[in-house]
């Protein structure tokens, strides 16, 4: 499998590996994929009161492209509003990493992880408002 230098760089030096406190009301968690399918991504975002993503962490069980896709989106997410985050498309991830066609699903999974984390933080905010 010939990977691009960008994939190899993220794979060798993944950015923002780790976890945030999932009980923090300002932290949203998205976990997508399944072990039997060969990849599981966990993405956590910390959002401040202005709705800006202050921090993002990930852990990924998956191939080099899956690791690179999730590492890349943690870089992209920081400083974005949750609506901007929600608008990130898998095609942008695939293009940035020059993913081969058989690895496009890794970028889809990363997009799904963002959407799941945003949905989680929105649900938490809604719960806060109604509480």
Which residues belong to the active site? 37, 106
| Residue 51 beta carbon to another protein: minimum distance, rounded to whole angstroms | 25
| Residue 39 beta carbon to another protein: minimum distance, rounded to whole angstroms | 7
CB–CB of 47/86 below 8 Å? no
d(CA 120, CA 131): 16
- Residue number, 102 or 127, with CB nearest to another protein: 102
| Residue 52 beta carbon to another protein: minimum distance, rounded to whole angstroms | 25
- Residue number, 85 or 99, with CB nearest to another protein: 99
Query: Where do contacts with another protein occur on this chain (CB under 8 A)?
Result: 1, 11, 14, 17, 19, 31-42, 59-64, 66-67, 102-103, 105, 108-109, 112, 116
DSSP string for residues in the chain: ----HHHHHHHHS-SSBS---TTSTTEEEEEEEEGGGTEEEEEEEEE-TTSBEEEEEEEEES-HHHHHHHHHHHHHHTT-BHHHHHT--HHHHHHHHT--GGGHHHHHHHHHHHHHHHHHHHHHHHHHHH-
- Residue number, 35 or 131, with CB nearest to another protein: 35
């Amino acid at each position: 499998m010939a990977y691009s230098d960008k994939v190899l760089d993220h794979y060798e030096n993944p950015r923002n590996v780790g976890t945030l406190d999932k009980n923090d009301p300002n932290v949203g968690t998205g976990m997508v994929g399944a072990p039997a399918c060969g990849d599981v991504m966990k993405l956590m975002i910390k959002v401040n009161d202005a709705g800006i993503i202050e921090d993002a962490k990930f852990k990924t069980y998956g191939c080099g492209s899956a690791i690179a896709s999730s590492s890349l989106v943690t870089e992209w997410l920081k400083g974005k509003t949750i609506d901007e985050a929600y608008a990130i498309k898998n095609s942008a991830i695939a293009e940035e990493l020059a993913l081969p066609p058989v690895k496009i699903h890794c970028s889809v999974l990363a997009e799904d992880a963002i959407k799941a984390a945003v949905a989680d933080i929105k649900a938490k905010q809604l719960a806060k408002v109604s509480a």
